[in-house]
């Protein structure tokens, strides 16, 4: 087998022709991660779990679990609609 017909040489030539990453390609993933943190994770810290709605939802789900009634939710024994 001659060196010109060697399949490994052809494969190596293909990898040598790849171009280096541009600055946009290099910074795309870090910028997306930063945007995710800034616009999604940081606002989560400003919304507390002790806002009245959150505790009410927790109580409703607890009553559903204890009573076994999964169709009509109740809050402190009072039926909740919506």
pLDDT of 69 above 70: yes
Cα distance between the two ends of the chain? 77
pLDDT tens for each residue of 8-59 = 665 656 555 667 778 888 899 999 999 999 999 988 888 776 777 888 889 9
pLDDT at res. 22: 83
Beta-bridge mates of residue 74: 79
Global confidence as pTM: 0.42
47 phi/psi in degrees, rounded to 5: -100, 105
pLDDT band for 2, please (50, 70, 90 cuts): low
**Helix boundaries (H) for the chain:** 7-16, 23-36, 42-46, 52-67
Q: If you compute the radius of gyration of the chain from its CA atoms, what whole number of angstroms results? A: 29
pLDDT of 7 above 70: no
């Amino acid at each position: 087998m001659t060196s010109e017909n060697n399949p490994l040489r052809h494969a190596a030539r293909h990898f040598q022709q790849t171009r280096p990453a541009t600055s946009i390609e290099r910074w795309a993933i870090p910028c997306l991660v930063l945007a995710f943190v800034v616009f999604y994770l940081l606002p989560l810290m400003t919304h507390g779990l002790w806002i009245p709605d959150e505790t009410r939802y927790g109580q409703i789900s607890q009553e559903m679990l204890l009573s076994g009634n999964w169709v009509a939710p109740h809050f402190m024994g009072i039926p909740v609609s919506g």
